[in-house]
């Protein structure tokens, strides 16, 4: 069962929350991060992507970057940009995007729940990215970015959220992308205990986004245990910062693919090979094609959109991973036809989040790439089933929106 706890958040002063809050560190590159902080000395990217405050060209994994992150965090605290709550609280974090609402419980989750499988994952992690976040957390001595977890909706939690959100929020701002962010603080010990008790009845939490941050938080916690052999269960390093959302409120966007070349094939050769595994329809309209159901794909190359449908014999519905559209495309087209053996490492393929729109695929295929594929989104039910079966999704299977902002909550490990 899920073990959570309240914590003393380090968080922005109320009038600075909108300026501090930033997108997660891994959804932008160095140049984009530098552009985002222009004119905003309060942006949390000065901590989460501290290389932007160092010399151009510095290795983002350089020790100086982590030292700068620690220095910037301390500076934000010393200048009063951040305050620390006196009590251990639980918080409610609501985001509104295009009229759609998702509301999460902000708390700390036990690292043991990750180790014993209560917190379930669905992705592999890369050692270099893990090491980056391990160093970041270790140097800052804090979880600086919350892990995006989900759970199957629970009526008692819904009632607590409904009552708590009738009160005056501590934050209410709109970020530069038009998303509303509202935060309430729960200080009542009885309500906090009830939330903790309810989650103690919930058998599983699922990582929606943040596998590298989760793995890093767990490994830093284990390092602290080795350094403190007489540690107590309530010690902060035994927990990591999380936002827990009911699965029913979440939306997964499509995660599309673009490839640099046709692997030496002509258009005719490409289409003939694809027709062996997909039904292919050449679209006469100039409009982009966005699939409206599973096992359909859009393909754009050389000025033409095609509608692809996987042939029934190529779909294995008995295997939850193999039946994913990202798997079907990879196993039947990207690998055998375009030669993309390992999409994690092959620099001929790139991934485009659905939030950018289908027009971005046309743009990329007409510029630096040669072919693009539009996908139908993976469902939250597929994600949970894969995690329950202890299986792993192919890379870049899910894109969640809205993104949890970093910098609104920090959890100190002391």
Q: Looking at the structure, do residues 72 and 161 belong to the same domain, yes or no?
A: yes
Q: Looking at the structure, do residues 316 and 406 belong to the same domain, yes or no?
A: no
For residue 389, the tally of other CB atoms under 10 A from its CB is 13
Residue 158 has, within 13 A of its CA and on its CB side, a CA count of 9
pLDDT for res 271: 98
Mean pLDDT of 3-27: 97
Whether residue 382 lies inside any domain: the answer is: no
Looking at residue 25, the DSSP 8-state letter turns out to be G
Confidence of residue 395 (pLDDT cuts 50, 70, 90): confident
Whether pLDDT at 62 is above 80? yes
Please say whether the beta carbons of 125 and 215 come within 8 A. Answer: yes
Whether residue 291 lies inside any domain: the answer is: yes
Q: Looking at the structure, do residues 223 and 270 belong to the same domain, yes or no?
A: no
Strand partners, 207: 149
Whether residue 346 lies inside any domain: the answer is: yes
CATH number at residue 292: 3.30.1760
Q: Looking at the structure, do residues 162 and 32 belong to the same domain, yes or no?
A: yes
pLDDT for res 345: 87
With H, G, I as helix, E, B as strand and everything else as coil, classify residue 105. Answer: strand
Confidence of residue 294 (pLDDT cuts 50, 70, 90): very high
Residue 72 has, within 13 A of its CA and on its CB side, a CA count of 24
* Cα dist from 45 to 70, 143, 213, whole Å: 12, 14, 16
pLDDT tens digits, residue range 210-256? 999 999 999 999 999 999 999 999 999 999 999 999 999 999 999 99
Mean pLDDT of 87-104: 98
Q: Looking at the structure, do residues 154 and 110 belong to the same domain, yes or no?
A: yes
68: tokens are 């700068």
pLDDT for res 27: 87
Q: Report the alpha-carbon distance of residue 352 to residue 290 in Å, rounded.
A: 14
Q: Looking at the structure, do residues 50 and 184 belong to the same domain, yes or no?
A: yes
Q: Report the alpha-carbon distance of residue 294 to residue 377 in Å, rounded.
A: 8
Q: Looking at the structure, do residues 240 and 267 belong to the same domain, yes or no?
A: no
Please say whether the beta carbons of 119 and 199 come within 8 A. Answer: no
pLDDT tens digits, residue range 116-131? 999 999 998 889 999 9
pLDDT for res 37: 96
pLDDT above 90 covers a percentage of the chain that reads 94
282: tokens are 């050449």
16: tokens are 């600075």
pLDDT tens digits, residue range 168-194? 999 999 999 999 999 999 999 999 999
Q: Report the alpha-carbon distance of residue 38 to residue 326 in Å, rounded.
A: 37
Whether residue 9 lies inside any domain: the answer is: yes
Confidence of residue 344 (pLDDT cuts 50, 70, 90): confident
User: Number of structural domains, the chain?
Assistant: 2
Please say whether the beta carbons of 34 and 166 come within 8 A. Answer: no
Whether pLDDT at 286 is above 80? no
Mean pLDDT of 268-274: 98
Whether residue 392 lies inside any domain: the answer is: no
Whether residue 40 lies inside any domain: the answer is: yes
By DSSP bridging, strand 239-246 and strand 147-151 are parallel
Q: Looking at the structure, do residues 213 and 233 belong to the same domain, yes or no?
A: yes
Whether residue 395 lies inside any domain: the answer is: no
Q: Looking at the structure, do residues 213 and 333 belong to the same domain, yes or no?
A: no
Residue 280: Cβ-neighbour burial (10 angstroms; 0-12, 13-18, 19+): middle
pLDDT for res 81: 98
Helix segments in 165-242, DSSP class H: 189-199, 211-227
Q: Looking at the structure, do residues 125 and 20 belong to the same domain, yes or no?
A: yes
pLDDT for res 192: 98
Residue ranges making up the domain that contains 66:
4-251+401-412
Whether residue 148 lies inside any domain: the answer is: yes
pLDDT for res 224: 98
pLDDT tens digits, residue range 345-391? 899 999 999 989 999 999 999 999 999 999 999 999 999 999 999 99
Q: Looking at the structure, do residues 234 and 272 belong to the same domain, yes or no?
A: no
pLDDT for res 287: 80
Nearest C-alpha neighbor of 394 from the set 342, 340, 356, 336: 342
Please say whether the beta carbons of 10 and 410 come within 8 A. Answer: yes
Mean pLDDT of 250-270: 97
Q: Looking at the structure, do residues 231 and 110 belong to the same domain, yes or no?
A: yes
Residue 208 phi, psi dihedral angles, 5° rounding: -85, -45
Whether pLDDT at 284 is above 90? no
């Amino acid at each position: 069962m899920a073990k959570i706890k309240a914590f003393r958040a380090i968080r922005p002063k109320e009038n600075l929350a909108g300026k501090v809050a930033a997108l997660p560190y891994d959804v932008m590159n160095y140049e984009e991060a530098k552009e985002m902080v222009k004119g905003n000395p309060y942006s949390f990217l000065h901590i989460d992507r501290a290389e932007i405050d160092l010399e151009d060209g510095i290795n983002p994994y350089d020790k100086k970057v982590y030292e700068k992150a620690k220095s910037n965090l301390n500076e934000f605290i010393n200048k009063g940009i951040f305050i620390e709550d006196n009590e251990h609280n639980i918080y409610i974090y609501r985001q509104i995007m295009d009229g759609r609402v998702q509301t999460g419980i902000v708390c700390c989750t036990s690292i043991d729940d990750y180790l014993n499988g209560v917190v379930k994952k669905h992705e592999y992690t890369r050692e270099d990215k893990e090491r980056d976040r391990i160093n970041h957390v270790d140097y800052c001595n804090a979880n600086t970015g919350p892990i995006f977890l989900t759970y199957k909706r629970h009526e008692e939690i819904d009632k607590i959220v409904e009552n708590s959100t009738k009160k005056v929020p501590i934050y209410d701002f709109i970020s530069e992308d038009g998303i509303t962010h509202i935060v309430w603080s729960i200080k009542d010990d009885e309500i906090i205990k009830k939330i903790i008790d309810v989650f103690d009845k919930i058998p599983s939490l699922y990582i929606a986004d943040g596998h590298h941050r989760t793995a890093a938080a767990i490994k830093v916690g284990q390092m602290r245990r080795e350094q403190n052999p007489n540690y107590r269960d309530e010690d902060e390093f035994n927990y990591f910062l999380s936002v827990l959302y009911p699965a029913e409120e979440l939306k997964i966007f499509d995660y599309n693919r673009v490839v640099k070349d046709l692997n030496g094939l002509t258009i005719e050769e490409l289409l003939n090979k694809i027709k062996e595994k997909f039904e292919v329809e050449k679209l006469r309209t100039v409009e982009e094609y966005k699939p409206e159901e599973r096992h359909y794909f859009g393909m754009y190359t050389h000025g033409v959109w095609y509608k692809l449908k996987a042939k029934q014999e190529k779909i294995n519905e008995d295997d939850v991973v193999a039946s994913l559209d990202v798997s079907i495309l990879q196993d039947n087209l990207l690998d055998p036809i375009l030669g993309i053996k390992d999409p994690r490492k092959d620099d001929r393929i790139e991934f485009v989040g659905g939030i950018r729109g289908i027009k971005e695929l046309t743009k990329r295929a007409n510029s630096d790439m040669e072919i693009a594929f539009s996908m139908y989104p993976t469902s939250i039910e597929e994600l949970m089933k894969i995690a329950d079966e202890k299986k792993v999704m192919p890379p870049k299977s899910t894109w969640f929106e809205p993104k949890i902002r970093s910098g609104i909550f920090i959890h100190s490990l002391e």
